[in-house]
Amino acid sequence: MTMFSQRTHWPLSSNRITQTLDALRRDRVEVIDLTESNPTRCGFRYPARKILRPFTAKGNLFYNPQSQGAWHTREAVCRYYKNQGHTLSAQRVFLTASTSEAYSYIFQLLSDPGQEILFPQPSYPLFQFLGDLNSIILRYYPLVYTDSWRIDIQAMEDAVGPQARAIVLVNPNNPTGSFINQDELGALNRLCRQRNMALICDEVFNEFTFVDDKPPLSLVGCDTALTFILGGLSKTLGLPQMKLGWIIVNGPAELADAACQRLEVIADTYLSVNTPVQNAAVSWFCLKEELQGQIRQRIRGNWKFLRDAMHGAVHYGLLNAEGGWYAVMRTATGGCEEDLVCTLLEKDHVYVHPGYFFDFDPSRVRRVFKAEGFLVVSLLPRPPVFQEGIARLTDRLATR
């Protein structure tokens, strides 16, 4: 018998990469951080007065708890989507303190301990922890890469067992930057309907496309299966410190209504979204172009730089992507991503993520090198920092 629950039995010791990074920081070595994905540290212009002034509103002195979140804020979320061509009802919107919290609510709604939820692979590492904390078993469905990332639908179907309750989709996925296409959506909807599963679609990066040619597919209007769409201010407006996310519930009416009734009790148990943020968010949405526009311009500029820098390279390459805040590189160093990341830190003072952090499976990527390895960089750093970091990185990769 131990004091602590099994779900918290995580390996808590630090790994070689964090030890190397800590040592450099102790020695006050300046490291170019190409993993930086906190927008408030990337030199964007935040209009301080417009963001902070709403906090002085008198309405913030009253507490009027509402389980789904304040009606006027939910209406503001609806207006936000209306501008993208989606008509929603505020009755189907739930506010949460973050997208991560939204995941937990939905897992609790759909799944009993020991039941299964499917997640994309590769994808972002928080899922393991969210799964553990909610006592669900994580199953994975693979994304495969030839010239772009696609869902392996057959492998997904094979991964759906009798205990499967839902499929998580990240659109576009982090870190592969791949959006779902119409065929995949059709297959997912069919599978969810046939197997009585729900679809959970994380669209926090949906508007961060690398090109303007066509609006990306969004599941906001989808009601074939019971569908939960997740969004939040941390990415949409680059305001992670404000802690506001949301869930949109869609689907066949009876099922969606039943889901809302239960979700309301879950949300009412915590009432976690604070009043000042809910009130202020109504005016923050008006800053969309100003805030989101800067971030979009940054990721597009850095993506273009990266593509040019990697063009024609022999020992490394860039995997194609369509959007999001990250880029994935392949290197000819499979099996020792950690060595490479530590060498980059120690010798070049550049910090990048190893692919294993996101569970890349080289056998799912059309092979170019004998032993493929992957590195992931954020596209948010200021251009001079990003460009210097990439120059050091490509110099190192060229010498290996």
Which positions touch ligand PLP (CB under 6 A)?
Answer: 98-100, 124, 170, 174, 202, 204, 232, 234, 240, 245
In the complex, what is the shortest distance from the CB of residue 100 to ligand PLP, in angstroms, rounded to a whole number?
4
Give least dist CB 119 to ligand PLP, A: 11
* Residue (205 or 316) nearer to ligand PLP, CB: 205
The residue among 99 and 275 lying less far from ligand PLP, judged by its C-beta, is: 99
Q: Cβ of residue 348: shortest distance to ligand PLP, in angstroms?
A: 25
The residue (of 169 and 345) whose beta carbon lies closer to ligand PLP is: 169
Q: Please report how close the Cβ of residue 286 comes to ligand PLP at its closest, in angstroms.
A: 20
Q: Which amino acid is at 196?
A: N
Q: How far apart are CA 153 and CA 325, in angstroms?
A: 25
Contact, 227 vs 203, CB < 8 A?
no
In this complex, which beta carbon is closest to ligand PLP, that of residue 204 or of residue 397? 204
**CB 96 to ligand PLP: min, Å:** 8
Nearest CB to ligand PLP, comparing residues 99 and 331: 99
Nearer to ligand PLP, 236 or 302 (CB): 236
The nearer residue to ligand PLP, 136 or 170, going by C-beta atoms, is 170
Neighbours of 265 (CB within 10 A): 10
Residue 321 CB, nearest approach to ligand PLP (Å): 14
Min. distance of Cβ 239 from ligand PLP in angstroms? 10
Cβ(80)–Cβ(93) under 8 Å?
Answer: no
Instruction: Report in angstroms how near the CB of residue 375 gets to ligand PLP at its nearest.
Output: 17
Residue recorded with tokens 């553990």? 132
Could you give the CA distance from residue 56 to residue 170 in angstroms, rounded to a whole number?
36
The residue (of 202 and 372) whose beta carbon lies closer to ligand PLP is 202
Compare residues 316 and 326 and give the one whose CB is closer to ligand PLP. Answer: 326
Please, what is the minimum distance in Å from the beta carbon of residue 379 to ligand PLP?
13
